[in-house]
Amino acid sequence: MLHIWEIWPKLAEAVLRTHIEYRMAGGHSFDHALHVAQVAYFIAETEEVKRLSGAAGLCHNADRILQKILGVGKKDVPEARVVTMVQGWLDTSNEFTATDGDRIVSAVLLHSNFNIDGSDEVLVALQDADRIACSAAEAIIGAAQHWHEIPMINPKH
C-alpha cells in the first residue's frame, strides 16, 4: 500500500510547512492530517476516490489552522479563507484538475457535517476517516491529557 505522502509529495510538504509555521500541535497536528489522509485512502472504494479523499485528508485541518491564526471560534472562520488556503496548497502541488480541486475543497468545507445521502464519495470517505482517526487511542490519550482533573467515569451518568 502506498503512503499518502508518496502519492501527493508536494501537497504533503506544503501542508506540513503550514502546520510547522503556525505551530499546530495536539488534535489538529500534521500527524492527525496524515492519519486521516491515510485512512481515507484506505477505506475509499475506487482509485479516484482514494487519491482525492487522501488529498482532502491532508488539507482538512485548514479551518483549525485559520481558527488559530485569526483567534476565533471554529464557526467564525470565514469559508472563503478555508477555500483560499486549500486551493493554495493544491496549486502548490500542481497535480490536480479544476474538478479534482472542487471536490477536495468541498469535502474539506463539509467534513464536520453529518453524513447526507447522495454526498460526494470524497466527502464521505473524508468524514469517515476523520471519525476513525479521532477514535484512535492516540487521539483519546491526547484529549485526556487536557482533562486530567475530571474523573474518568461519571457514576451519575
CB atoms under 10 Å from CB of 97, counted, come to 9
State mean pLDDT over 51-68.
Answer: 97
pTM of the shown model: 0.88
Range 80-86 average pLDDT: 98
pLDDT at 142 over 70: no
- Average pLDDT of the chain to the nearest whole number: 90
C-alpha cell at 148: 486530567
Look at residues 114, 110, 8 and name the one whose alpha carbon lies nearest to residue 52: 8
Mean pLDDT of 65-91: 96
**Residue 97 grid cell:** 484538475
Is pLDDT of 28 > 90? no
Mean pLDDT of the region 90-107: 95
Local confidence band at 52 (pLDDT 50, 70, 90 cut-offs): very high
> 143 vs 77, which has greater pLDDT?
77
How many Cβ atoms are within 10 Å of 152's Cβ, its own excluded?
Answer: 7
Position with higher pLDDT, 11 vs 94 = 11
Non-local CB neighbours of 36 within 8 Å, separated by 6+ positions: 57, 60, 126, 129, 130, 133
